[in-house]
Amino acid sequence: MKTQTSFRLSRRQFLTTASALAAGGALSTLPFGLRPAAAATVVDGEYLQSCQWGAFWAKVEEGRFTSLRPWEGDPHPTPQLEGFQDIVYSSSRIRYPMVRRDWLENGPGSAPETRGTGDFVRVSWEEALELVAGEISRVQEQEGPWAIYTGTYGWRSNGRANNPQTMLKRLMNLTGGSVVSSSNYSKAGIEAIMPYVLGQVDAFGPQSTHQTIVENTDLIVFWATDPLKNNQISAAIPDHGEYAWFEDMKKAGKKAVFIDPSKTEGCKILDGEWLQVRPHSDTALALGMAHTLLTEELLDRDFLENCTTGFDIFAEYLMGNEEGVEKTAEWAAEKSDIPADTIRDLARRLTQGRSMLVSGWTPQRQQYGEQFPWAFVTLAAMVGQIGLPGGGFCQRYHLDNPGAPMANGPKLGSPSFAIGDRKELKEWPAEKGTNSIPCARVVDMLLNPGASYDHNGKTFTYPDIKLSYWVGGNPFHHHQDRNRMVEAWKKIETFIVQDYQWTATARHADIVLPATSSAERNDIDRVGVVANKAIIGMKQIIDPVFEARNDFDIFKDLATRLGVEPEFSGGRTDMDFVEEIYTAAREQGASMGVDMPDFETFWNGVPLVEFETPEAALYRTKYADFREDPLLNGLPTPSGLIEIYSNTIEKYGYDDCPPHATWFEPVEWLGQQDTTYPLHVNSNHPQYRMHSQLNGSAKLRDIYNVAGREPCWINPQDAEARGIKSGDVVRIFNGRGQVLAGAVVTEDTRSGVIQLQEGAWYDPADASEAGSVCKYGDPNVLTPDIPTSKLAQGTAGCTCMAELELFQGDAPAVTAFSEPVHG
């Protein structure tokens, strides 16, 4: 077996082969049934590669990626990594361009009820690209750019060079524009509210380092967060440094409290106190703790005086002087199901030593999701340790490991390949609506063209969409209220999807274009978004599987057909982008005194450059400068201080987002009177997947599937009341929909809460029938499609109640993971 240093092809040879393969239309001349020209571009060997589950050595034998082993620089490889190799060849791989039969035979908009039924016709690349380019031209000319939606939200693969969403938007802007989207499904609530409170998103970028916590913190509170589960993946190549952090905290005997309806891995490792909070009551719990600090005079008045504004008005609210309800620990206990004494005790303990409040994002992915982050930061401000080593708060330890020390190396940038400005082929009149919607309002937009909506202090109008193009995202998993969505989608005349997996989104498309996975193309990325431990070249290790093509080549060919190439590519290839990004980093490195090999040397050897992490990087305390001198180092808020009360939000006059953190009773939750649907659905992020990605891996499904379906955790008390035991097929339902799942009876979820993780593939028993049962277990069949509030208009997918029963009879077979039938 060769190792990578005895390299295969020179870069120039490689490029020649690759561009020959990618030459427009060449693949389409192949007879059906044959794989595209299997030029053995890669000799057998082991190659360093990476994905968003980690860096690894890929074994290549006879042109196939046969196995992988984690890169030795990964301190804690994730079991999910195996799934990456598995999905490259899985049965859910999209092999060929496909067109929905009715659309092909009868034109755009025909028989939309057959969407998702799998009735596709295989076409050549030539024909598929003609159809797509034809549709873009038709809708641009007949309707205008306001009729095309390219919001295309989603977690495309990592890699700095290939961003298919940028490519799509660039192509659209060159041809007249389209409607795009803002924010995300992750933290729209935080992103909207924090700029008013802290003058910045906060849950982004480097946070206080792990070391400052290990050395200084007496009590750490993990509030709705599971850093061990959630840091398995990353937007870049994960550095997996937080596992050592937990080990260090364990060794130091750190006191940890976990406020969560589920018992997390972190809680088990640290032998933490588990407060089995009633979901959706976190704002009330924070207010109850704040009330204790206020009434027991445990708050830091100096910090509040020097570093915050508006506390007095908030204090009035806590005391019940605004609306007559005092937010006592007893009041909070009734909402949260945590005893009042425990609430008071926790509040006191926050002030008895150095304390760190750490939150995740589920409480802001709920109705009124802006309120918890605001209450959380307000509570931390009252404790008064913000900016002290090991103290204060952090709203992001669970993604991209932002508590890592930062290595002394240059940062990989993006290629100079921008979305660009819209080419004004047509003026965009105001009555045609907005050119950007909050991403989670996509279904509202489809259902209500011309309607107005409020968002972050302004009013907008929904456009009227006829064509939608999705790449690098999976809305038929990520969006809420699937049945409502399926209905709304019928309004679109043409839905184009470019993916490498037969997701439910691809199944609901009119035109499906098979893309390559990152194993089949060239790219580059860094290890650790914050840690920045290394740069790894992501060299193509196998030929495209079946007829898959690189996103870039697909868009380039479309640009040619639409008459906007070479403007689109500027004559560059994706390898040019890789080289450009590397070279820019190398130049930046040189200015920092960090030597990096030239590009040819880097790319043709083992494509790895590692950076040193200086000792000093171990120590970083967020907001230390601000605390030290809040006047000189003020925050970018109107007052320069932490705004516990926001005059700007007050001016908006929103009934669902008032000017200070406020408790609201959600539309549905365990605290309600109506018990028709008595179980809260915790659709948190999956242990063995990244969203819907890797659900296509049979190897991984073997680990976690129950009765061949998505596992659903249920507490023994709730299981017994319904006659359920582990391994049973259950039906979970509410007024919006129904899904099947496999029961796991466990004490790890509190009573009244079932856990059904997001990302499970939607698999309707009969896609043409409204409300058909999902055979596999997609929780978004059950969730409501409501906004957080007018401020963020974010997703509220974590607000959801349902009922569960034993499924009687023969459970229908899951069919989500195979290729749809096609002619």
Active site amino acids: 153, 155
DSSP reduced 3-state for 416: coil
Quote the least distance from Cβ 132 to ligand MGD, whole Å. 13
Region of 94-102, 346-354, 734-742, 777-785 interacting with ligand MGD (CB under 6 A): 777-785
Task: Locate all alpha helices (DSSP H) within 355-503, ordered by sequence.
Answer: 371-383, 442-447, 475-478, 482-489
Considering only 157, 181, 208, 355, the residue that binds ligand MGD (CB under 6 A) is 157
472 is a site residue for ligand MGD (CB under 6 A): yes
One-letter amino acid identity for 607? P
682 is a site residue for Mo ion (CB under 5 A): no
> Which 522-561 residues touch ligand MGD, going by CB under 6 A?
551
474 is a site residue for ligand MGD (CB under 6 A): yes
Please give the C-alpha separations between residue 645 and each of 291, 317, 442, 532, 612, in angstroms, as whole numbers: 16, 11, 31, 37, 43
Rounded Cα distance between 195 and 182, Å, is: 15
Considering only 94, 180, 220, 233, the residue that binds ligand MGD (CB under 6 A) is 233
Region of 244-252, 259-267, 654-662, 670-678 interacting with ligand MGD (CB under 6 A): 259-267
Copy the structure tokens of residue 738: 């129904």
Residue 439 binds which of Mo ion, ligand MGD, none (CB < 5-8 A, kind-dependent):
none
Instruction: Compute how many other C-beta atoms are within 10 angstroms of the C-beta atom of residue 704.
Output: 16
469's CB contacts (< 8 A; 6+ apart) are: 132, 136, 148, 149, 150, 152, 168, 172, 178, 496, 497, 498
Largest Cα–Cα distance of the chain, in whole Å? 79
Please give the C-alpha separations between residue 806 and each of 50, 442, 704, 725, 810, in angstroms, as whole numbers: 42, 34, 20, 9, 12
Cα angle 167, 169, 174 (rounded to 5 degrees) comes to 95
CB 662 within 8 A of CB 373: no
Nearest to 550 by CA among 527, 577, 525: 577
Please give the C-alpha separations between residue 121 and each of 31, 126, 130, in angstroms, as whole numbers: 15, 14, 15
Q: Which is nearer to ligand MGD, 175 or 232 (CB)?
A: 232
**Backbone φ and ψ of 582, nearest 5°:** -65, -45
**For the chain, counts of helices (H) and of strands (E):** 27, 29
Residue 207 binds which of Mo ion, ligand MGD, none (CB < 5-8 A, kind-dependent):
none
684 is a site residue for Mo ion (CB under 5 A): no
> Which 179-208 residues touch ligand MGD, going by CB under 6 A?
185-186
690 is a site residue for ligand MGD (CB under 6 A): yes
Considering only 131, 148, 168, 224, the residue that binds ligand MGD (CB under 6 A) is 224
Q: Which residues of 565-602 are buried (b: 16+ CB within 10 A; e: fewer)?
A: beebbeebbbbbbbbbbbebbbebbeeeebebeebeeb
500 is a site residue for ligand MGD (CB under 6 A): yes
Q: 20: exposed, middle or buried (C-beta count within 10 Å: 0-12, 13-18, 19+)?
A: exposed
Q: Which is nearer to ligand MGD, 351 or 682 (CB)?
A: 682
Q: How far is CA 31 from the centre of its chain?
A: 39
259 is a site residue for ligand MGD (CB under 6 A): yes
Nearest to 409 by CA among 598, 611, 608: 611
Residue 684 binds which of ligand MGD, Mo ion, none (CB < 5-8 A, kind-dependent):
ligand MGD
Copy the structure tokens of residue 215: 């050395």
Considering only 481, 758, 763, 785, the residue that binds ligand MGD (CB under 6 A) is 758
Q: 106: exposed, middle or buried (C-beta count within 10 Å: 0-12, 13-18, 19+)?
A: exposed
Q: Which is nearer to ligand MGD, 303 or 568 (CB)?
A: 568
Residue 282 binds which of ligand MGD, Mo ion, none (CB < 5-8 A, kind-dependent):
ligand MGD
Applying CB under 6 A, the site for ligand MGD has a residue count of 61
Residue 233 binds which of ligand MGD, Mo ion, none (CB < 5-8 A, kind-dependent):
ligand MGD
Residue 701 binds which of ligand MGD, Mo ion, none (CB < 5-8 A, kind-dependent):
none
Rounded Cα distance between 701 and 694, Å, is: 9
Quote the least distance from Cβ 312 to ligand MGD, whole Å. 28
478 is a site residue for ligand MGD (CB under 6 A): yes
Region of 387-395, 676-684, 701-709, 802-810 interacting with ligand MGD (CB under 6 A): 676-684
Q: Which is nearer to Mo ion, 186 or 364 (CB)?
A: 186
262 is a site residue for ligand MGD (CB under 6 A): yes
Region of 403-411, 429-437, 496-504, 621-629 interacting with ligand MGD (CB under 6 A): 496-504
Considering only 97, 116, 164, 402, the residue that binds ligand MGD (CB under 6 A) is 164
Region of 249-257, 723-731, 733-741, 775-783 interacting with ligand MGD (CB under 6 A): 775-783
Quote the least distance from Cβ 417 to Mo ion, whole Å. 24
CB 777 within 8 A of CB 787: no
Rounded Cα distance between 401 and 228, Å, is: 10
Residue 526 binds which of Mo ion, ligand MGD, none (CB < 5-8 A, kind-dependent):
none
Region of 129-137, 499-507, 628-636, 764-772 interacting with ligand MGD (CB under 6 A): 499-507
> Which 165-194 residues touch Mo ion, going by CB under 5 A?
186
DSSP reduced 3-state for 48: strand
Contact residues toward ligand MGD (CB under 6 A) are 154-157, 164, 185-186, 223-226, 229-230, 232-233, 259-262, 264, 277, 279-280, 282, 360-363, 365, 398-399, 471-474, 477-478, 498-501, 503, 515, 551, 682-686, 689-693, 758-759, 779-780, 783, 797-798
Contact residues toward Mo ion (CB under 5 A) are 186
